[in-house]
Amino acid sequence: MASFEEIAAESQQRWEELTAGGQPWIRVGTALCGKAAGCDAVIASIEAALEQNGVAAQLSQVGCLGLCFAEPLVDVQLPGGPRVFYGNVTPDMAAEIVSNHVAGGSPLAHLALGYLAAGGPDEEVDSTLAGIPDLNQHPMRVLENRVALRNAGTIDPGDIHQYIAYGGYHALNRALTEMTPEEVLEDVKTSGLRGRGGAAFPTGVKWGFLAGSNAPQKYILCNCEEGDPGAFNDKAILESDPQTLVEGIILAGYATGTSHAYIFIRHGHDGPIDRARAAVVQAQEMGFLGENILGSDFSFHLEVALTGDSYVAGEESALMEAIEGKRAMPRYRPPFPAAVGLFGKPSNINNVKTLAYVPEIIAKGGEWFAGIGHDKSTGTVIICLTGDLKYTGMIEVPLGINLKDVLYQAAGGVPDGKALKFVQTGGPLGGVLGADNIDIVLDFDILRTAGAILGSGGVIAADEDNCVVDLTRALIAFCQYESCGKCFPCRMGMSHLLEVLERICRLEGVPEDLDLMRKVGQDMQAGSLCGHGQLGFNPVASALRYFGQEFETHILNRRCPTEVCSAPRFSPVSSRR
């Protein structure tokens, strides 16, 4: 088998031939956002136009660049030249781009979204780019510091050589040839990396629990269940750069003395599933998985496992139950997974984003990663921006940045001259912040204190026309539907909360309903087995904290200020005494 140096040299040669060879390179975003916007029709139009114009070009399907509002996104790179991006491309536009830019060599300034210089932002560009802005100056990219998303939208996720040419598997080679497992673990601890799945527990400490076990069989588990409304960053990593996850999992196995792993993906998420499976096969073929990796004594095996549509399957013990072929329901603890996990063996569970950071941490050192971020929240965070915003999509910014800057600078604020009313963060178990409370630092601990966890990274913005009571009802409806039903406090508590909120939304609530919801929430937090029930009152608690007056208006005045909720079916509270 070839050495890593030989593999890296071949990958670099292929990359240079692709970017500076004799053919234009056309990249089309085909992640979920691109598919939903119609990229398949655009690709068909490009293929037809290339044939019609008699032009030979390399056409690649890439992942998500993060500019989801501009999908379908197409970029054209002539040999040795810059990448020119076109947004919201239709099949007719695609044909025009091929005829004029690909075949004729003239970028279409009136259609272009921006360009990225091949040699970086300081490279001088030629006159053909006149009137086309630098894409790095777009609001959604100005605040970015890409680590986990460093390759997203640039490399073909189905070509492992492109990943290697962009620095992939260099960290694994370094770990196997220059570092002991203990040193890799210590680097992760030094980095201060905390879990990006919601709990924000220190990753190195968590790995240490598993590394301390001498069991002959242990498991690394990667959680890509991702059923949160408003969050799509886990799926985007798998669709855009699956090898960075594969490499991160292998490094986790090396650091903890583990030989087997599973990537756990929700059934039906075909894009992430297909690309993850292809990545595993390619890694095996290249010698990064299997026996005696890169000639070392370390052997590691990785599989992709699927589950049904269950939000609770994202809870770590429910995830293990699902892999074992059982119904996805949380286990009683103790024992904890590091002692008794998958198939009764010691196990460690991490989120996709958490593991995707590891290759860069090992390549550049834990101190480098610790130098980014804020206080104990080190590194970057991937945020999915949806709702009433000018620019929607996915960005990666340093922790410590202000949420207000993200919403107003990166996302462009609320369109149509309307005012921002509230944002919902961290998924359905997260919280609600009013427009007056978004001047807050993105920090795991600060956000938790404010009642709005960072969670999986979803941020949903709502303008002045939205009703916070109705949104809270929708969140609890989701949580009630997704409760696995194993424990009574969650099963009945969610149903009771939903019943009360629906009554308030019908403008039939009574003043006692607010204290009733608080009591139900306390019981859920104290008695539920997993985070679904323990955190299930979060959206209600934060909504009451910042929008208590709006709840009272619904109840006491029988009126919805935004006229979203329906009219009352009986007289106001005062006449029912």
Where do the domains of the chain lie? Answer: 15-139, 168-367, 382-463, 468-576
Per-residue pLDDT tens, the chain, 577 aa: give them: 789 999 999 999 999 999 888 899 999 999 999 999 999 999 999 999 999 999 999 999 999 999 999 999 999 999 989 999 999 999 999 999 999 999 999 999 999 999 998 766 556 667 779 899 999 999 999 999 999 999 999 999 999 999 999 999 999 999 999 999 999 999 999 999 999 987 889 999 999 999 999 999 999 999 998 888 889 999 999 999 999 999 999 999 999 999 999 999 988 889 999 999 999 999 999 999 999 999 999 999 999 999 877 889 889 999 999 999 999 999 998 999 999 999 999 999 999 999 999 999 999 999 999 999 999 999 999 999 999 999 999 999 999 999 999 999 999 999 999 999 999 998 899 899 999 999 999 999 998 888 888 888 899 999 999 999 999 999 999 999 999 999 999 999 999 999 999 999 999 999 999 999 999 999 999 999 999 999 999 999 999 999 999 999 999 999 999 999 975 444 444 333 2
- What are the Cα distances from residue 363, in Å, to 241, 349, 433? 17, 22, 38
Q: What is the dihedral of CA 486, 452, 252, 268, to 10 degrees?
A: 60
Report pLDDT for 567.
56
Residue 519: partners with Cβ closer than 8 Å, 6 or more residues away: none
Q: How far apart are the first and last CA of the chain?
A: 84
Report pLDDT for 577.
29
DSSP 568: P
Report pLDDT for 123.
62
Report pLDDT for 125.
67
CA distance 372 to 389: 27
Given the structure tokens 């032009």, which residue do they identify? 55
Nearest to 383 by CA among 398, 371, 361: 398
Strands (E) in 429-521, as ranges, are 431-434, 458-463
**Do residues 108 and 92 lie in contact, with contact meaning Cβ atoms separated by under 8 Å?**
no
Residue 389: partners with Cβ closer than 8 Å, 6 or more residues away: 407, 411, 412, 413, 414, 415, 461
Q: Which long-range contacts (CB under 8 A, 24 or more apart) does 340-344 make?
A: 341/219, 341/221, 342/219, 342/221, 342/262, 343/219
- What are the Cα distances from residue 375, in Å, to 112, 158, 355, 403, 443? 40, 37, 21, 16, 8
Report pLDDT for 15.
94
Secondary structure class of 28 (helix, strand, coil): strand
Correct CATH for 468-576 of 3.40.50.300, 1.20.1440.230, 2.40.170.20, 3.30.70.20: 1.20.1440.230
- Vertex 131: Cα angle to 129 and 133 (nearest 5): 80
Q: Does domain 15-139 sit in CATH 3.40.50.970?
A: no
CB atoms under 10 Å from CB of 74, counted, come to 30
Report pLDDT for 119.
64
Angle between helices 270-286 and 233-240 (to 10 degrees): 40
Structural tokens at position 381: 């965070």
Report pLDDT for 571.
41
Are 15-139 and 168-367 in the same CATH fold?
A: no
Report pLDDT for 427.
87
Cis peptide before 398 (omega within 30 of 0): no
**Which residues does residue 397 pair with via DSSP β-bridges, in sequence order?**
381
Radius of gyration of the chain (CA): 25
**Do residues 468 and 550 lie in contact, with contact meaning Cβ atoms separated by under 8 Å?**
yes
Architecture (CATH level 2) of domain 168-367: 3-Layer(aba) Sandwich (3.40)
Correct CATH for 382-463 of 3.10.20.600, 2.60.40.10, 3.40.640.10, 3.40.50.2300: 3.10.20.600
